[in-house]
């Protein structure tokens, strides 16, 4: 009789071939926070959910608007006026039942100002649609020792690696790796 395949091995077969069980285990232990769930953030988080992350939390204070319908495939006309974080969270959870999802209806900058420790439980914070002149993402990443990736409203991107943030550079607010593509 043939061995019964492990359902997890079957689901993540292609990934296991690329980075092996150790890599998949690290992904399955990862907790991610998404700030603003526009099209870039939603698509990024969808790919991570399909990959089998442990959990995610979306922080977004906006409601689904007509402009979201043409560029964010996780919202629909039926969700107009509903909290964007709630709608995207519910649909992402349908894609992979082994991933835990939650949301916070709050403007990310306000949450960072009022509860900065909130972000310290995540291995990665992905910030999308942030103002280019706002340095709060890099500052928060360095202070909380959390890996952070962000996209500005004008298409610029930046990365703050957790290991580099944890090592410190004398200036905890300075991003260690930053690329601006505007």
**Mind spelling out the 3-state secondary structure of 115-154?**
CHHHHHHCCEEEEEEECCCCCHHHHHHHHHCCEEEEEECC
Which residue(s) pair with 55 in the sheet?
31, 100
How large is the average pLDDT for residues 148-167? 53
* Predicted local confidence at residue 121, as pLDDT: 87
Measured distance CA(63)–CA(49) in Å, rounded? 22
pLDDT number for residue 73? 83
Q: Indicate the pairing of strand 177-179 with strand 157-160.
A: antiparallel
**pLDDT at residue 147, rounded to an integer:** 62
Instruction: Give this prediction's pTM.
Output: 0.75
* 129 or 1, higher pLDDT: 129
Query: Backbone phi, then psi, for 160, in 5-degree steps?
Result: -125, 110
pLDDT value at residue 140: 60
Confidence class for position 71, pLDDT limits 50, 70, 90 = confident
Ramachandran class of 30: left when φ > 0, alpha when ψ lies in -120 to 50, beta otherwise: beta
Fold of 15-179: Rossmann fold (3.40.50)
Interatomic CA distance for residues 146 and 126, integer angstroms: 10
Res. 142: pLDDT tops 90: no
* Top-confidence residue, 153 or 107: 107
Nearest CA among 105, 49, 43, 46 for reference residue 71: 43
What is the per-residue pLDDT for 87? 95
């Amino acid at each position: 009789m043939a061995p019964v395949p492990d359902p997890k091995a079957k689901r993540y077969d292609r990934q296991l071939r690329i980075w092996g069980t150790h890599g998949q285990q690290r992904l399955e232990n990862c907790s991610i926070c998404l700030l603003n769930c526009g099209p870039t953030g939603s698509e990024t988080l969808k790919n991570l959910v399909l990959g089998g992350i442990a959990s995610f939390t979306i922080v977004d204070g906006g409601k689904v608007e007509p402009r979201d319908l043409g560029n964010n495939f996780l919202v629909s006309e039926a969700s107009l006026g509903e909290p964007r974080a709630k709608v995207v969270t519910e649909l992402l959870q349908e894609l992979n039942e082994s991933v835990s999802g939650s949301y916070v209806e709050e403007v990310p900058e306000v949450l960072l100002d009022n509860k900065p420790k909130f972000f310290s439980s995540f291995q990665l914070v992905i910030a999308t649609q942030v103002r280019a002149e706002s340095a709060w993402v890099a500052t928060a990443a360095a202070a909380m020792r959390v890996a952070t990736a962000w996209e500005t409203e004008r298409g610029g991107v930046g990365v703050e690696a957790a290991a580099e943030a944890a090592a410190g550079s004398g200036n905890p607010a300075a991003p260690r790796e930053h690329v601006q593509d505007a």
